[in-house]
Amino acid sequence: MIEPTVRPLADLAQRDHDVIVIGGGIHGCLAALDASRRGLRVALIERDDLGGSTSWASHRILHGGLRYLQSLDFARARASIAERRWYLRTFPDLTEPLRCTLPLYGDGLRRPLPFRAALTANAIIGARRNAGVPRANKLPIGTVARPSDDVNPHARRDGLLGFGVWHDGLIRSHARLTMETVRWIAHLGGMVARDARAVSLRTSRGGVTGVVACDPATGIEHALKSAVVINAAGPWCHELASAFDPAGTGASSPRSIAFNLLLDRPAPNGAQAVSTPGPDGHTYFLVPRHGMMMAGTTHAEGDAGPSPAHVRAMLDGLNRAAPSLELSADDVLRVDSGVLRSIPNDPAEPADRAVIVDHARAGGPAGLVSLSGVKYTTARADAASAVAFAVGRRRLVHRDRPPADALTRDLNLTDPAWARRADWDAAALRALAEREGVRTLADLMFRRTEWGQDPRGLEALGERVGRALGWETTRIGQDLSDLVQAGPPAGPMSDPEPSAEEPATP
């Protein structure tokens, strides 16, 4: 019998836990992993599906913090390099080097000489960037290329002085990275539940005793016991903190939307930055996505998702930044949008620093810690800090990720092209779906695999997958309608890194 990595909520109520983590995005998953690696009994609950909201469709770039050199923030640059190295070393099967190119037009610090100096400083600070990293994932040092070098064919040529070239990391599949993290948590004895909405905090004598969570499918509430609760609910962190600690959370944080466009254009060679004209021009990154091009990121005030006007404005910006693309609305295969925490004085600008609140220090319940993260790259470090606030600094007991198993070896979960041509092992697919708590086709094709990344022919592929899972025709039909109309999960998805960390002016 295959041991599940995602369990019913009722199972989590059958034992006491040392730590309960609320939120199944990358920050919550890595907080649960950090606590599990320190020998603690962990419960992780997610109100929807794991990795299905803010973390779902980041631009997938693992940034080394090159832009922090602009403000001489060497500590943040060094921390970003270390965290990028952790991903490349820990998940070599799901990450790879990514060559990044930035056109230099002579605006401010975007000139060859200052950029070369920044790359030199970055090489010194990142001298250990490849420590312990497998050979295939090692990153070379950066350089400055000539305007005639064919490293970024989409960049505007007027006024071009050269290209800054460096390497960061690329996540091949953040859906699998999330689920491999969940499998690691389960391997260490942690318990994970999806569709588990935190309803209330239980306290006694000023301290946390647990959480009441509801299974929306049944409406049944379950009491989970723990003296420590970490609220990692993404951009909804403040709302949950306000409900759990009404007197101690401070002013509400505004939110913004962020969105990327999947384009019907060939995948670029690496991440190619393109900028609209002028010293204050917007920089977009064109990133490969399974043979297609993903362009991002644009931010706007509010949290309702991008309007057609937002998309048209982004297409206009892309055409000014990269005229050779000649984009129109017909070239947009999918719009991935999501909600981010913003800075208070500019609701359209995403926050660029994590916030960790130990509620006991402000007179709130002892054992309650809130983590509002902002960057995928540094999520592990922020999660570890939140765990340290909650339980103190404890040494790591478990270090190594569990080895790959037969299910992930027999099914190519990271390649949508493979899914379209392969005759899958239906038994393995059903076992994977059962183990990882799959309930819909969208769960499997967007949040367990990369199979749904290409929206072309998605309905036919979804029907094949549903039949392989042994689902009834009626169920497959209902899921296909949702799959084709919704595309990726509705609501928040994007990671602010592509613009918050873009090394536009190092």
| Inside any domain, residue 281 | yes
| Inside any domain, residue 22 | no
| Inside any domain, residue 463 | yes
Answer for the pair 350, 342: CB distance below 8 angstroms, yes or no.
Answer: yes
Q: How far apart are CA 79 and CA 354, in angstroms?
A: 13
What are the tokens at 286?
A: 């064109």
- Total number of domains in the chain: 2
| Inside any domain, residue 396 | no
- pLDDT tens for the chain, 506 residues: list them: 578 999 999 999 999 999 999 999 999 999 999 999 999 999 999 999 999 877 876 789 999 999 999 888 999 999 999 999 999 999 999 999 999 999 999 887 789 999 999 999 999 999 999 999 999 999 999 999 999 998 999 999 999 999 999 999 999 999 999 999 999 999 999 999 999 999 999 999 999 999 999 999 899 999 999 999 999 998 889 999 999 999 886 556 778 888 899 999 999 999 999 999 987 889 999 999 999 999 989 988 877 778 889 999 999 999 999 999 999 999 999 998 878 877 777 766 778 889 999 999 989 999 999 999 989 999 999 999 999 999 999 999 999 999 988 888 889 999 999 998 878 889 999 999 999 999 999 999 999 999 999 999 999 999 999 999 999 999 999 898 877 765 443 333 333 333 333 333 33
| Inside any domain, residue 33 | no
Buried b (16+ CB within 10 A) or exposed e, 317-327: bbebbbeebeb
DSSP class of residue 448 equals T
Residue pointed to by tokens 């309930």: 439
Return the pLDDT at 341: 79
Q: How far apart are CA 290 and CA 308, in angstroms?
A: 25
Return the pLDDT at 65: 93
Return the pLDDT at 1: 58
Q: How far apart are CA 20 and CA 336, in angstroms?
A: 30
Clarify whether residues 277 and 420 are in a common domain: no
Clarify whether residues 134 and 269 are in a common domain: yes
Answer for the pair 347, 301: CB distance below 8 angstroms, yes or no.
Answer: yes
Closest CA to 230 of 504, 28, 454: 28
- Indicate which CATH number applies to the domain containing 152: 3.30.9.10
What are the tokens at 32?
A: 């649960």
| CB-side neighbour CA atoms (13 Å) of 258 | 30
| Inside any domain, residue 151 | yes
Return the pLDDT at 350: 75
pTM of this structure: 0.93
* C-alpha dihedral sign at 60, 492, 216, 246: positive
Clarify whether residues 299 and 155 are in a common domain: yes
DSSP class of residue 228 equals -
Return the pLDDT at 481: 83
Return the pLDDT at 498: 35
Closest CA to 201 of 255, 249, 253, 252: 249
Return the pLDDT at 12: 98
| Cross-strand bridge partners of residue 144 | 164
Clarify whether residues 320 and 441 are in a common domain: no
Clarify whether residues 262 and 156 are in a common domain: yes
Q: Look up the domain containing 446 and give its range.
A: 410-486
| Inside any domain, residue 49 | no
Closest CA to 455 of 284, 288, 332, 339: 332
Q: How far apart are CA 438 and CA 24, in angstroms?
A: 15
DSSP per residue over 160-182, as a string? Answer: --EEEEEEEEEES-HHHHHHHHH
| Inside any domain, residue 156 | yes
| CB-side neighbour CA atoms (13 Å) of 163 | 23
